[in-house]
Amino acid sequence: MAIKRLGIIMNGVTGRMGMNQHLIRSIVAIRNQGGVTLLNGDKVMPDPILIGRNAAKVEALAKANHIERYSTDLDAAMKNKEDTVFFDSGTTQMRPTLLAQAIRAGKHVYCEKPIATNLNEAIEIAILAEKSGIKHGAVQDKLFLPGLRKLDMLRRSGFFGKLLSVRIEFGYWVFEGDLQPIQRPSWNYKSEEGGGIILDMVCHWRYVLDNIFGEVQSVSCVGATHIPERWDEANNPYKATADDAAYATFELKGHQGEKVIAQVNMSWATRVNREDLVTFHVDGTHGSAVAGLTSCKAQSRVNTPRPVWNPDVKQTMNFYDQWQDVPDTQVYDNGFKIQWEHFIRHVVENEPYKWTLPEGAKGVQLVESALESWRERRWIDVAPLKF
């Protein structure tokens, strides 16, 4: 068994998502398990160099995770031919420029979503990557959640019959910062800094809907800034200029050609009264299912109860008890780590890989369509993208 080194430039991993999900729970976890196993039994060992603007911060992060290489000089890192992969989880506004720099330096690229703040830039970087011949990918982590993997298994088994509808409820209360500390960065609520829940979350809904339930055909969306004033990391008040909630309906073309309706509520200004921070309720002619991040419950056609509508009598049925758990049939690893392993195998041994930058561009397309719908107060058709 041979161990192959893979040099990875990791930019922007001092932020919450980059540090926790991509560095600690993915790359460090892969290193701790002895690398990524290839088809022939060989191993690939990631050798990251951490890049950040704050020298003290990036040094502390590297030392805490036993990583020898770190720097504030991204240009120098790009010139190192021994590091063949560039990863970015920094600011969305800078992402297209950084990806283009890496692609022109001959690096394979992998990045967080959204891949750009607007569709033109997203298409340009996707085309550049496609024409360059390098390997490229965009994070689509929700597809690897245990709950959604169970939903997808039910769909592929024919459990739902004809798909009818999907209802997604996402969100929680993000503290304003005056009484309790904020738990999301303040830039999330500033449109001028790339904030907004539509830009942040509609990219996710695009790949979830397309891959599991059906290709998005059109969207109707309204957004809101429910909390107009918040407090930043220095406890200074500021005006929120970005949307903190959105309410959308999507028309889908199901995998069997059927029309599927998807309704999505997303909010950073809602208090949770459901089983998880996000739930997916799927109805079909032969069965229904409700999934969270890890769990999934199902109710088949033959096991569907017959509730009686009577507003004068207290409800005696416990509807939650009428659903059956879809069991864990395997050990579910961290979703970000799973996709990292796929991308590494894609780079090293050309494993087929479909979560590419053009797929990331589709997410940005749906963001723009949702914003256009909100702005013009009408349905917007979503045309196929061509690269």
Instruction: Tell me how far apart the alpha carbons of residues 1 and 117 are, in angstroms, rounded to a whole number.
Output: 44
Residue 189 · residue 237 · CB < 8 Å: no
The predicted pLDDT at position 387 comes to: 80
Tell me the pLDDT tens digit for each residue of 169-199: 999 999 999 999 999 999 999 999 999 999 9
Neighbour tally for 45: CB within 10 Å:
14
What lies within 8 Å, CB to CB, of 119 at 6+ separation is 361, 364, 365, 368
Backbone angles phi, psi at 347, to 5 degrees: -70, -45
Query: Does the pLDDT value for residue 101 go beyond 90?
Result: yes
Q: Which two tokens stand for residue 10?
A: 């990791």
Helix, strand, coil % (nearest 5) of the chain?
Answer: 35, 25, 35
The residues spanned by each domain of the chain are: 3-141+335-354, 143-333+365-376
Instruction: Tell me how far apart the alpha carbons of residues 58 and 61 are, in angstroms, rounded to a whole number.
Output: 5
Instruction: Tell me how far apart the alpha carbons of residues 347 and 133 are, in angstroms, rounded to a whole number.
Output: 11
Residue 186 · residue 304 · CB < 8 Å: no
Q: Which two tokens stand for residue 175?
A: 């503290």
Tell me the pLDDT tens digit for each residue of 42-70: 999 999 999 999 999 999 999 999 999 99
The predicted pLDDT at position 97 comes to: 97
* Backbone CA torsion sign across 229, 232, 236, 238: negative
Q: What DSSP state is assigned to residue 66? A: T
Tell me the pLDDT tens digit for each residue of 32-47: 999 999 999 999 999 9
The three-state (H, E, C) secondary structure of 75-131, written as one string? HHHHHCCCEEEEEECCCHHHHHHHHHHHHHCCCEEEECCCCCCCHHHHHHHHHHHHH
pLDDT band per the 50, 70, 90 thresholds, residue 209: very high
Going from the C-alpha of 17 to that of each of 185, 264, 360, the distances in angstroms are: 11, 23, 18
The predicted pLDDT at position 386 comes to: 85
Average pLDDT over residues 286-304: 97
Per cent of the chain over pLDDT 90 is: 98
* Backbone CA torsion sign across 121, 125, 130, 136: negative
Tell me the pLDDT tens digit for each residue of 107-132: 999 999 999 999 999 999 999 999 99
The predicted pLDDT at position 1 comes to: 80
Largest CA distance in the chain: 74
Q: Which CATH architecture has domain 143-333+365-376?
A: 2-Layer Sandwich (3.30)
- Closest by CA to 96, choosing from 72, 77, 124, 76, is 124
The predicted pLDDT at position 277 comes to: 97
- Could you check whether 3-141+335-354 and 143-333+365-376 share the same CATH topology? no
Query: Does the pLDDT value for residue 365 go beyond 90?
Result: yes
The predicted pLDDT at position 58 comes to: 97
Tell me the pLDDT tens digit for each residue of 261-287: 999 999 999 999 999 999 999 999 999
Going from the C-alpha of 84 to that of each of 8, 138, 196, 348, 349, the distances in angstroms are: 6, 17, 33, 10, 14
**To the nearest whole number, what is the mean pLDDT of the chain?**
97
**CATH fold of 3-141+335-354, please?**
Rossmann fold (3.40.50)
Q: Where are the alpha helices (DSSP H) in the chain?
A: 16-17, 29-32, 55-64, 74-79, 95-104, 119-132, 146-157, 197-208, 335-349, 357-376
Q: Which two tokens stand for residue 321?
A: 């008890």
